[in-house]
Amino acid sequence: MDFSITSDQKLMQDSLSRTLADASPLDRVRAYAGDVSDQGADVWAALRDFGLPGVLIPEQFGGLGLKLLDAALAAEAMGRAVAPVPFLGACALAPLALMRAGSADQQTEWLPAMASGEVQGAVAISEPIAGARDGAGVMASGGRLTGKALFVEGGLTAGLIVAADKTGGLHLVRGAAKGLGRSAMTSIDQTRRLAELTFDNVEAEPLAGGPGALDALRDAGWTLLAADALGAGDVMLEKAVAYAQERKQFGRVIGSFQAVKHMCAEMAAELEPCRALVWYAAYAFDEAPDEASLTAAHAKAHTSEVGRFVARTATEVHGGMGITDLLGLHFWFKRIGLDRQLLGGPERVRAIAARIQGLAA
């Protein structure tokens, strides 16, 4: 019985954090956030050198062949660094779609290119999971897709799109396909860009896997978003504690006032158990499939709630400085804000959690 991450996993996570600290310090994040033409190519190149795009892809296709728990530890590092890269789609969900639902030919064609980071994949799966808004949704017929998909992380530039249709079937669409339209959806979080994709009778290849594959993408997506929020929340708490030990008022550091200490203690008390929940959800994805969907739902819903609490409380501990652009704390605040809403907010995810265990119709 061992409920912990291995020293290799810890080493990998620390090494990734150092890579991100070098390649993407806050000034670099700020530059990316302020310039939509900035593709973050240098940050992506550093992650390619690290091998991260292939974290989940089997070694036979040039990847690292690791598990979702390893990807979750990487996602936590992404959240810590507010990294300006489309990690979720390109390094995790698009490869997983091909691994779980692709034919041998499809895997051979795409997995090596995704593992090397040469091709960035993106997944358009929001509608069947988080619900269809503004008439979005994709219809598949005769090898063609028609309709639109919203909230596609990394969708503006992806070389390959995995799109879910209204029945939950998955399809591959090449980035250069005729009739594929892309436009930016500006969100609070400028470290990860979202796209609206339009499909006008676009050529597509079906992926063989059915609704089971979409469920797996949902579970992995929920877990990785939770891990991202956990990493971002950890940083906000650390920054709040550091600030409270430095800032003086009434002749004392504010961290010696119980009113401030207790805010920090409450953040820690809420955040620390999320770590075990995220680890377990990620572990279950590969090792305890019967529990994977339920624990992923709880990891997503709960870490979203805790994330919101930590984001506002850590900002408050910083006083007026907390809300300034200069300090940059808002990058983490907004990162947590997007993690919460993407692929369904807590209420929607909890309703699905009740259905998963047969408690609701």
Please choose, from the candidates 279, 228, 265, 333, the residue with its C-alpha nearest in 3D space to the C-alpha of residue 67: 279
Cβ-contact 119, 66 below 8 angstroms:
no
Q: Which stretch binds another protein (CB under 8 A): 4-12, 89-97, 102-110, 162-170?
A: 4-12
Residue corresponding to tokens 């907390």:
322
Distance CA 307, CA 324 (A): 20
How many residues bind another protein, per CB under 8 A?
Answer: 48
Q: Which of residues 258-277 bind another protein (CB under 8 A)?
A: 258, 261-262, 264-266, 268-269, 272-277
- Tokens representing 114? 């995704």
CA 102, CA 206: separation in Å to the nearest integer? Answer: 9
User: Which residue stretch of 148-156, 188-196, 241-249, 328-336 sits at the interface with another protein (rule: CB under 8 A)?
Assistant: 241-249
- For another protein, the binding residue among 100, 302, 318, 335 (CB under 8 A) is 302
Residues sharing a CB contact under 8 Å with residue 290, sequence separation 6 or more, in sequence order? none
The answer to whether 95 and 118 have CB atoms below 8 angstroms apart is no
Q: Which of 53, 128, 255, 344 binds another protein (CB under 8 A)?
A: 255
290 binding another protein? (CB under 8 A): no
Phi, psi of 155 (to 5 degrees): -70, -20
Annotate each residue in 27-66 with x if it binds another protein (CB under 8 A) or - if it does not, as one string. Answer: ----------------------------------------
- Rounded to whole angstroms, the Cα distance separating 152 from 156 reads 8
Question: Please, what is the minimum distance in Å from the beta carbon of residue 317 to another protein?
Answer: 11
Q: Smaller CB distance to another protein: residue 41 or 250?
A: 250
Q: Is 280 in the site for another protein (CB under 8 A)?
A: yes
**Which of 140/263 has CB closer to another protein?**
263
Amino acid at 208: A
Which one, 98 or 317, has the nearer CB to another protein?
317
**What is the C-alpha separation between 153 and 327, in angstroms, rounded?**
26
- SS3 for 158? coil
Q: Does 73 bind another protein (CB under 8 A)?
A: no
Q: How far apart are CA 332 and CA 57, in angstroms?
A: 29
Nearest to 172 by CA among 117, 118, 91, 103: 103
* Minimum CB–partner distance for residue 269 and another protein (Å): 4
Question: With binding defined as CB under 8 A, does residue 249 bind another protein?
Answer: no
- Please, are residues 67 and 288 in contact by the beta-carbon 8 Å criterion? no
Least distance CB 322 / another protein (angstroms) = 18
Which structure tokens are listed for 246? 């430095």
| 316 touching another protein, by CB under 8 A | no
Of 100-108, 152-160, 187-195, 346-354, which part binds another protein (CB under 8 A)?
A: 346-354
Among residues 46, 66, 69, 156, which is the contact residue for another protein, using CB under 8 A? 69
- Binding region for another protein (CB under 8 A) out of 79-87, 155-163, 173-181, 254-262: 254-262
- The CA distances from residue 159 to 46, 113, 168, 324, in Å, are 19, 10, 22, 37
Residues that bind another protein (CB under 8 A): 1-6, 69, 241, 244-245, 252-253, 255-258, 261-262, 264-266, 268-269, 272-277, 279-280, 283, 287-288, 295, 298, 301-302, 305, 346-347, 350-351, 353-354, 359-361
